[in-house]
Amino acid sequence: MFDLRRLLPLLILALLAVAIAGTLWMGGRGVDQGAAPTVQPGDASERRGALVDEVVFTVESDPGRITALIERGSHHLFGQGLDSATLFRQIQASPAVGHHFSRGSVAELTLNPAEFEDGQLNPFADREIREAVNWLVDRSHIAEELYGGLATPRYLPLNTAFPDYARLAGPARELEIRYRHDAERARRVIGERMEALGAEQRDGRWFHDDAPVSIRVLIRTEDNRERVGDYVANRLEDLGFETERLYRTADEATRLWIASDPAAGRWHVYTGGWISTVINRDVGGDFNYYYTPRGRPDPLWQAYDPDPELDELAERLERREYQSVEEREELMARALELAMKDSVRIWLVDQQSVWPHAANLEVAVDLAGGVTGSGLWPYTLRFRDGVGGRVVIGTPSMLTEPWNPVAGSNWIFDQMILRSLSDPAALADPFTGLYRPQRIARARVTVEEDAPVGRTLDWVELESVERIEVPGDAWLRWDAAEGRKVTVDEAEPEGLTARSRTEIEFHDGYLDRYWHDGSRVSVADMILPWILTFERADEDSALFDPGHVPTFSVYERHFRGWRITDTDPLTVEVYSDQVFPDAENLVANRVPATQPWHVLGLGIEAERQGDLAFSTGQADRRGVEQTNLVGGPALEILRDYLRAARAAERLPFEETLSEWVDPEEIRERYAALEQWQAERGHFWVGDGPFYLHRVRAVEGSLVLRRFEDFPDPADKWLRFAEPRIPEVSVDGPLIAELGEAVSLDLDIRFGGEPYPHEDIDEVRWMLFDGDDRLARRGELEPDAEGRWRLHLDAEILDALGTGANSLEFAVTATPVALPAFATHAFATVPGGRVPQPRADPAEEGDD
C-alpha cells in the first residue's frame, strides 16, 4: 500500500508548481499579475464610463475551445461570430454559455484580375471567365452543407439581410435566377474563353505555352472558409486546372492578397470575408468600394479596371447623385447587373453568425456586426450581478497590421478594440443602423428640394430649400505649397452651391474633455486631420501618397467647404453635394474627424522626413517602416521625434493651428505624451470609455482599463432590448384554378403577438412563374391587426398558365432594419372543381 503521508509533500509541491506555471502563463498572456478586479454590487447610474474595470484581449485561434474556456471561467466572450453548426450545438447544450446572432458577415471569393508580369496566364484577368465562376459554384450547397445551414446563399454585392435587398427584391431575384448554379454553362464559357486566350486542353487538362495552367487558391484556415477553399479548388480541378492550395491564417494571407503586387502572380483566388459593423441602410457606396480603385489604396484595388459605365455608376452612387428614390433604385439595379459581369468578387453566402459569451455577461450586439462590429460594446459590457470586474475576450487575431489613425489596420478584430478607445460624436443603433447622438446636442440638416432625404429620429431637424449658398468664409481646400487654408471666396469668387448643409452643435463642455494622456481636447484636434487629407493628395507635398488619391478624388467631388461658427458650444457647418437617405446618417458622415494633434503630428513629421509612412503602399515605395503607434521598430523612431518636438515646441502647420493652440498647451501636450509613452510603452491616445493600458504583441494579448475621466454615466446606453424582428407566415391555397381569383393572408408577429401596423414600414410581394420569371410585383396594405392580404385576380393567374409558381414576400419594420422574408409555392391548374388545401403557416413561414 502507498503511504499517502509520504506523498503529501510531493503533491503540495506539484500543486504549487502548477499554480506558479499558471500565474506565469497568465502573465505571459498580458494579464497583470495580482488579484483581478472583482464585480461589486452597485448602481450603474452612479458610475462614470465603462461598466467593467478591465478588458483583456487574448489570441484564441481555435473556436472549438471557446465553449470549454467559457465554462472554465478563463474567458467570457469570443470576438468572432462562429459559423459551425457543431459548435453551435455545443453552445446550446451548455448552461454556462449564452449566445447572440448577427447577419452582417459574408463569405466571398476575391479574384485577382491582374495580368501577370512573368507572362503566365491568369484566367481571371478575363472578365467573362470571372463572370462564369458564378455558375461554377453552388451557393446552396455551400450554405447548407459547408455552413450547416448557418448561412444564406448570396449572389450580389447586396447583403440579403439589409433594407436595400428588400427595396430591390425584383431585380435582385432576377439576377439570382440568371446566375444560379449551372456547372455545364460554366464549363462551356470558361472553355471558350481559355481557347481564345491561347490555351488548349490535353487529356482534360489546360495548358498554356506548353505549361499546365495552375491556379493558386489562397485559403483562410480559421473558419469554414477552409472548406470553401477546398470546394472551389475541387471545382477548378474538375474544369482541368491544376491548383495549388495555400492554407494561411489572417496575418499570413494579408501579406499576399493585400500587401503584394497582384501582377506578381502570387495568388489567383482568395477566400475573402467581410463584416458590416452596422446595419447598412444604404449600400450604394459598396460598388465604389468593392469594384473600383477608389475603394482602397491597396495594390489589389489599384489593379481594378471596371467597365466605364460601372465606374460612373459607382461614383454617382458614392456621391448619392440622384434626385429621387426611384432614380436611385434604377441606378442600383443597373449597377448590380454590371457588377455581376465584372465579378472581381464572387459573393457566396451571408452568414448567420453565433456569438458565444458567458451566461452572466451582457453586451449590446449589433444585428449586422455582432459583438466585434458593435459600436456600443464598450458602453454596455457588464456582468449581470454588478459593476466592475475583469472581462477576458478571446479573438482569432490581433495587431494583424500596424495601428495608426490614418491608414492603419482595417482588420475587424483590431477595429473592435479601437472602437473602445475612441468616443465618436454619433453611434449607430444596433437594431436599425440609424445614428444616435453621443457628443452632439443638436443637428440641423438642410437639403435642396430634389434631394431624397428623410428623417426618423427627433434629434435631427430636416428642412428643404430651393438653393443652398456656401458662405464665402468656409474652408474649401488646403494649399500644401503655401501651407494655408483656401476659402470659398478665394477659390470660387462667383460663389458656390451645395446639395446639403449640416450644422452640428456639440454638447456643452465638448472642449473641456480630456484625451487619455491628460491633454485637454482642442479645436486643433479637428483641424489637423482635415489638413492631412489634402496634404496626402497633393503632389507638391512631402506627405503625398498616390494610394490616397482615388479615395480623395471622391471626397473632393462632393465636398463644398466647412467652417467653425462657434466654440462655446463648439458648432460647425459642413457643405456637401453628397446626401444619404437618412438625415441621421448624413450628420454622422459629416462630423469632422478628430485626432490628438500632438500624436498625429509625430507621424506627419516622421513621414515628411522619410523615416515612416502611414500607409502600407507608401512604406513599400519608400522602403521604410509603416507608422505603428503600438509596437515594432516604429516606436523608437517616434520616441526620437517626440523628444525633438518637445525640445523645439513644434506645432504642426503652425501658421494655421497657432490660432487655436497657445505655447503652454504645446508644452503640456508633449510632457503628457512623454509620460504616457514611458508608462504604457505605446503612443495610442484616445478619448473612449477604455484606454490602452498595456500591449504585449509577442505574447498575443493587450489590456484595456476603464477611463475614469470619461464624462458619461455608465448606464447611458443600457436601453437596447431584444430586437423585434418580424416573424412572417403565409396562409394560402396550394392549388389555384385558372379563371378564378385567389387570396392569401400574410401573418406578421413578434413573440406570438401581432406586429403593430404602424411599425411596419413596407410589405412587398413578387410573383414568379414556372420558369422563374418575375410576372408581377407590388406592395400590400394591412388588413386586420398583424395580418396583410394579397388578392390575385383571375387575369393575373391566367397569365401564368398551368404549372408551378411561387410568391415571395419581403417585410421591413421601423424598430429593426433587417427585413423578414416568406415564400409560398402553389400550382395553377385548369378550371373545375378541385380540392383547395391550404398551406400550413408554420411550414411556410421563413424569417
Say which range, 9-23, 595-609, 633-647, 746-760, has the weakest mean pLDDT.
9-23
- Rg for the chain (alpha carbons), in Å? 29
State the Cα–Cα distance between residues 267 and 199, nearest whole angstrom. 19
718 pLDDT above the threshold of 90: no
State the Cα–Cα distance between residues 485 and 214, nearest whole angstrom. 54
Enter the C-alpha cell of residue 464: 428643404
Torsion of CA 751, 754, 757, 759, to 10 degrees: -10
| Other CB atoms within 10 Å distance of the CB of residue 533 | 19
pLDDT value for 333: 96
730 pLDDT above the threshold of 60: yes
Say which range, 119-128, 506-515, 781-790, has the weakest mean pLDDT.
781-790
State the Cα–Cα distance between residues 824 and 822, nearest whole angstrom. 7
Enter the C-alpha cell of residue 826: 402553389
66: buried, middle or exposed (CB in 10 Å: 19+, 13-18, 0-12)? buried
Which of 177, 190, 178, 197 lies closest to 132, judged by CA? 190
> Per mean pLDDT, which of 152-161, 658-667, 811-820 is the most reliable?
658-667
pLDDT value for 35: 62
pLDDT value for 544: 96
Which of 398, 392, 386 lies closest to 70, judged by CA? 392
Contact between residue 713 and residue 47 where contact means Cβ atoms under 8 Å apart: yes
Give residue 98's pLDDT band: very low, low, confident or very high (50, 70, 90). Answer: very high
| 178 CB-near residues (< 8 Å, 6+ apart) | 340
pTM, 2 dp: 0.79
814 pLDDT above the threshold of 50: yes
Percent of all residues in the chain with a pLDDT value above 70, rounded to a whole number: 94
Give residue 209's pLDDT band: very low, low, confident or very high (50, 70, 90). Answer: very high
State the Cα–Cα distance between residues 738 and 586, nearest whole angstrom. 50
State the Cα–Cα distance between residues 295 and 313, nearest whole angstrom. 14
Q: What is the pLDDT of residues 222-281, one digit of tens each?
A: 888 999 999 999 999 999 999 999 999 887 898 899 889 999 999 999 999 998 888 888
The residue whose grid cell reads 502572380 is 265
> HEC profile for 532-588?
HHHHCCCCCCCCCCHHHHHHHHHHHHHEEEEEEEEECCEEEEEEECCCCCEHHHHHH
Give residue 750's pLDDT band: very low, low, confident or very high (50, 70, 90). Answer: confident
State the Cα–Cα distance between residues 46 and 712, nearest whole angstrom. 10
Give residue 394's pLDDT band: very low, low, confident or very high (50, 70, 90). Answer: very high
Residue 742 or residue 836, greater confidence: 742
Contact between residue 380 and residue 363 where contact means Cβ atoms under 8 Å apart: yes
Give residue 721's pLDDT band: very low, low, confident or very high (50, 70, 90). Answer: low
Contact between residue 361 and residue 391 where contact means Cβ atoms under 8 Å apart: yes
Question: One-letter amino acid identity for 716?
Answer: K
User: Which residue(s) pair with 217 in the sheet?
Assistant: 245, 269
Q: What is the pLDDT of residues 672-712, one digit of tens each?
A: 999 999 999 999 999 999 999 999 887 888 999 999 999 99
Give residue 837's pLDDT band: very low, low, confident or very high (50, 70, 90). Answer: low
Q: Is 729 left (phi over 0), alpha (psi -120 to 50) or beta?
A: beta
Q: Is 51 left (phi over 0), alpha (psi -120 to 50) or beta?
A: alpha
Give residue 792's pLDDT band: very low, low, confident or very high (50, 70, 90). Answer: very high
Q: What is the pLDDT of residues 458-503, one digit of tens each?
A: 999 999 999 999 999 999 999 999 999 999 999 999 999 999 999 9
pLDDT value for 17: 40
Question: One-letter amino acid identity for 250?
Answer: A
| Other CB atoms within 10 Å distance of the CB of residue 233 | 21
State the Cα–Cα distance between residues 635 and 640, nearest whole angstrom. 9
Percent of all residues in the chain with a pLDDT value above 90, rounded to a whole number: 69
Contact between residue 191 and residue 201 where contact means Cβ atoms under 8 Å apart: yes
Enter the C-alpha cell of residue 519: 491633454
Average pLDDT, the chain: 90
Which of 316, 352, 341 lies closest to 499, judged by CA? 316
pLDDT value for 14: 43
Q: What is the pLDDT of residues 253-270, one digit of tens each?
A: 988 998 899 999 999 999
| 137 CB-near residues (< 8 Å, 6+ apart) | 109, 181, 231, 232, 235, 346, 348
> How many CA atoms does the CB half-sphere of 110 hold within 13 Å?
24
State the Cα–Cα distance between residues 370 and 82, nearest whole angstrom. 11
Which of 237, 245, 182 lies closest to 204, judged by CA? 237
State the Cα–Cα distance between residues 274 and 412, nearest whole angstrom. 9
**Four-residue CA torsion sign, 684, 685, 689, 691:** positive
pLDDT value for 411: 86
- The residue-averaged pLDDT of 158-170 equals 86
Output the furthest CA–CA distance in the chain (Å, rounded): 104
Enter the C-alpha cell of residue 676: 504616457
Enter the C-alpha cell of residue 478: 488646403
Q: What is the pLDDT of residues 551-566, one digit of tens each?
A: 898 899 899 999 999 9
State the Cα–Cα distance between residues 199 and 207, nearest whole angstrom. 6
Give residue 572's pLDDT band: very low, low, confident or very high (50, 70, 90). Answer: very high
Residue 297 or residue 645, greater confidence: 645
State the Cα–Cα distance between residues 324 and 332, nearest whole angstrom. 12
- The residue-averaged pLDDT of 57-82 equals 92
Residue 526: C-alpha distances to residues 139, 259, 266, 593, 595 (Å): 46, 30, 41, 6, 7
The residue whose grid cell reads 498616390 is 546
| 79 CB-near residues (< 8 Å, 6+ apart) | 57, 371, 372, 393, 394, 395, 396, 413, 416
Q: Please list, residue by residue across 113-126, b when 16 or more beta carbons sit within 10 angstroms of its beta carbon and e when fewer do.
A: bbebeeeebbbbbb
486: buried, middle or exposed (CB in 10 Å: 19+, 13-18, 0-12)? middle
State the Cα–Cα distance between residues 798 and 793, nearest whole angstrom. 9
Say which range, 25-29, 152-156, 382-386, 415-419, has the weakest mean pLDDT.
25-29
Torsion of CA 281, 284, 285, 286, to 10 degrees: 90
Residue 392 or residue 322, greater confidence: 392
Distance of CA 135 to the CA centre of its chain: 27
Q: Please list, residue by residue across 269-291, b when 16 or more beta carbons sit within 10 angstroms of its beta carbon and e when fewer do.
A: bbbbbbbbbbbbbbbbbbbbbbb
Contact between residue 661 and residue 522 where contact means Cβ atoms under 8 Å apart: yes
| 810 CB-near residues (< 8 Å, 6+ apart) | 165, 166, 169, 762, 763, 764, 765, 766, 819, 820, 821
Q: What is the pLDDT of residues 349-383, one digit of tens each?
A: 998 889 999 999 999 988 888 999 899 999 999 99
845 pLDDT above the threshold of 60: no
| 366 CB-near residues (< 8 Å, 6+ apart) | 102, 104, 277, 278, 279, 373, 374, 375, 376, 428, 430
Opening angle at CA 551, ends 616 and 254, nearest 5: 30
Secondary structure tally for the chain: helices H, strands E:
28, 40
Residue 86 or residue 677, greater confidence: 677
* Share in percent of the chain as helix, strand, coil (round to 5): 35, 25, 40
pLDDT value for 104: 86
